[in-house]
Structure 1
Amino acid sequence: MLLPRIATLITGLSLCAMAQAAPTAYPLTIDNCGSTLTFQHAPTRTVTIGQAGTEMLYAMGLSDKVVGTSLWFNNVLTKYKAQDDKIQRLADNEPSFESVIGKRPELVAVELEWMVGPQGAVGTREQFHELKIPTYLLPSDCEAKDNLVGADGTRLAPFRIETIYKSVSQLAQIFDVQERGQQLNDELKASLARSIATAQGKQLKDASALVWFSSAQMDIEPFVAGHKGIPDFMLSTLGVRNVVESDEEWPTVGWETIAKANPTFLVIARMDRRRFPADDYEKKLAFLRSDPVTRNMDAVKHNRIIILDAMAMQASLRMFDGIEQLATAINGYDLSQ
């Protein structure tokens, strides 16, 4: 039931508003994804590996504490462009270990464990910690998830929205800006409640969707959203079923299998990076409308294709905008066709 869920969210907002954030007492110790981090003071030099963490810091007014960024799927939001223009981008994708430590960071904020983790593309947490550089991994990518299984990890339990709120709260605590973090979380919860309300009047009992992120080549199996991941949470929150049943974060599934499932909606990622051909959403659209298998799917024939920024499909602030866009688009479709 959606109405009780909205009521719970509103109650949570009221309780948050009543709470008064206390200043950080240093030294601060935080348990983070299997590591214990200790801060003697608020970091003054931070490197981010992942757009989600970068924009969280920007949203809390901490851009002056960021000295380097990396791993961008979409261009920075317009409202943060002026701040971002002053900060060095170490890489559009993964940076080198040397480029990160070369910025002499007092904190490295990491979105994805495959960047900094046991098999990190940039390095391991131990490598950074040996240099007395704490690495904060966003809980959304480590809690109830095994990142050593599958190309992008496998969910052991469904993604929990609370992990985003936790990231905001913990980063706010690390930087001693708890009131900003609390305000940001309140805004996110209010946005989610509005999106749920938008979709609640639509009859979606039998509605389904597929979320297509990208493809290494246009003519092979696409990377799609798994059963317990972030896009699955977005869909199920609005009452829509994900047709993919794999627990991998972004499994590959054949188009024949997808066509047989015949999802009501297709959600495709728009991104500014160009690592794979299908990073270009226009190429995705052209493929869907020309391929003999995909062009006969109901979602394609009736143009029920929703385009979202790639970062709206990640555990990020943009995810809340993505849910709102999904709810608005779904609410506007005539499902009698």
Structure 2
Amino acid sequence: MKRCMFLLFSLFVAISLAGCGEGSQPAKQSEQASTQQPPSQSTEAKSEKATSYPLTIKDSTGQELTFAKAPERIVSASPAETEILFALGLGDKVVAVSDYDDYPEEAKSKPKVGGVLSPNEEAILAQSPDLVVGGISMKEDVVTKLRSLDLQVITLRPKVVQDIMENILLLGQITDHQVQAEELVSRMKADIGKVTDAVKDLKPEEKKKVYLEFSAGWTVGKGEFLDELITMAGGINIASDTQGWNPVSEEKIVKEDPDVILFAQGFTDEKTGETLDQTIRKRSGWDKIKAIRDNQVIGLDHNILSRPGPRITQGLYEMAKAIYPERLK
């Protein structure tokens, strides 16, 4: 069952959403630059933050990789990691992306290397990359095969928001863009602070019960960053008594009677043509749910909400605004 859920979620990611897995590991302490400089410092000051090569790091699989210099040709086989690389100012170094990469706009024009589960090996080799970045959906046997072809492959598998920020810092270190990475993480932390400050004085009885449906018939429980986002936003995830990605129990949702229902926008049933919110509203007995009675069924951009990249804190803000519009304008 767990294997089926992972495969379904991997498919979900393949259409630009995101997911699960183990957090990434930071580089060895001895290899990190020691001087912390604010973003506004001079070029000379910034150079003190330069990565020292050779650099050895461990990725989320525990695999050690050593880089003799900053990568010049990067293939990203995951939409979230592509967003990170572009946000770090590395768009000119990204020579190819997955078939599903659509943000930022410049990523659309990059050569494609196939899907996120099993990208095309020949297409990757054709780009002569010195770094291949994979996300949560890249199969382990694919990673092993690519490494057997003498490719430097790093895989990132974040579970919580902190993992996402550590992945950004790790990619910044590998690519000698540490200052940019720290600036980006600082902005993300500021976004988190705005949300948590807005909801921190909520009394227990004021906290709203939230049900999130990220794909038709599927929700999320403990151990994944979408559950964490609901908590950060001041909500109570009614599926938090479950672990990971779970099929929806329609009777349970009716019983829990959520105040707010959040769903991922952009999905349409191929057979009926119904949008996800239409499907949700038509379920038997769900018209009695408070969220539906009060018209608190709110769609959120599925890419922003679920890609474990630099826009995840924007997703947090939009989620909190949907739950407590009076607190976040």
What TM-score do you get using the length of structure 1 for normalisation? Answer: 0.75
Letter in 2 for 1:303: N
Distance 1:87 1:301, change over 3 A: same
Deviations 1:222-259 (A, max 9, x none): 111122211110011122221112212x2112212222
Distance 1:204 1:238, change over 3 A: farther
In the alignment, does 2:315 pair up with 1:322?
A: yes
- Is the CA contact (8 Å cut-off) linking 1:198 and 1:331 kept in structure 2? no
In the alignment, does 2:247 pair up with 1:252?
A: yes
Within-5 A mapping of 1:110-189: 110-112=134-136, 114-118=137-141, 123=142, 125-140=143-158, 159-189=159-189
Letter in 2 for 1:226: G
1:262 Cα deviation from its structure 2 partner: 1.5
The DSSP-based 3-state class of the residue aligned with 1:62 is coil
Within-5 A mapping of 1:49-88: 49-70=77-98, 72=100, 75-76=102-103, 80-81=104-105, 83-88=106-111
- Is the CA contact (8 Å cut-off) linking 1:16 and 1:182 kept in structure 2? no
Distance 1:17 1:262, change over 3 A: farther
Alignment partners' CA distance in 2, 1:333 and 1:227: 27
Within-5 A mapping of 1:172-251: 172-203=172-203, 205=205, 206-215=207-216, 222-244=217-239, 245-248=241-244, 250-251=245-246
Extract unaligned runs of 5+ from structure 1. 1-14, 141-158, 216-221
Computed over aligned residues only, the root mean square deviation of the Cα atoms, in angstroms, reads 2.7
Distance 1:266 1:162, change over 3 A: same
- Is the CA contact (8 Å cut-off) linking 1:199 and 1:328 kept in structure 2? no
1:277 Cα deviation from its structure 2 partner: 4.4
In the alignment, does 2:288 pair up with 1:270?
A: no
Letter in 1 for 2:92: D
1:71 Cα deviation from its structure 2 partner: 5.7
Structure 1 counterpart of 2:63: 35
Distance 1:98 1:295, change over 3 A: farther
In the alignment, does 2:53 pair up with 1:26?
A: yes
Alignment partners' CA distance in 2, 1:93 and 1:303: 36
Letter in 1 for 2:120: S
- Is the CA contact (8 Å cut-off) linking 1:213 and 1:269 kept in structure 2? yes
What TM-score do you get using the length of structure 2 for normalisation? Answer: 0.77
Distance 1:45 1:55, change over 3 A: same
Alignment partners' CA distance in 2, 1:17 and 1:305: 42
1:204 Cα deviation from its structure 2 partner: 5.5
Extract unaligned runs of 5+ from structure 2. 1-35, 40-44
Letter in 1 for 2:127: K
The DSSP-based 3-state class of the residue aligned with 2:324 is helix
Structure 2 counterpart of 1:90: 113
In the alignment, does 2:297 pair up with 1:305?
A: yes
The DSSP-based 3-state class of the residue aligned with 1:325 is helix
Letter in 2 for 1:229: E
1:92 Cα deviation from its structure 2 partner: 6.1
Alignment partners' CA distance in 1, 2:283 and 2:320: 28
The DSSP-based 3-state class of the residue aligned with 2:275 is helix
Deviations 1:35-89 (A, max 9, x none): 001111111111112111000000011011111111638x42xxx31x3244123
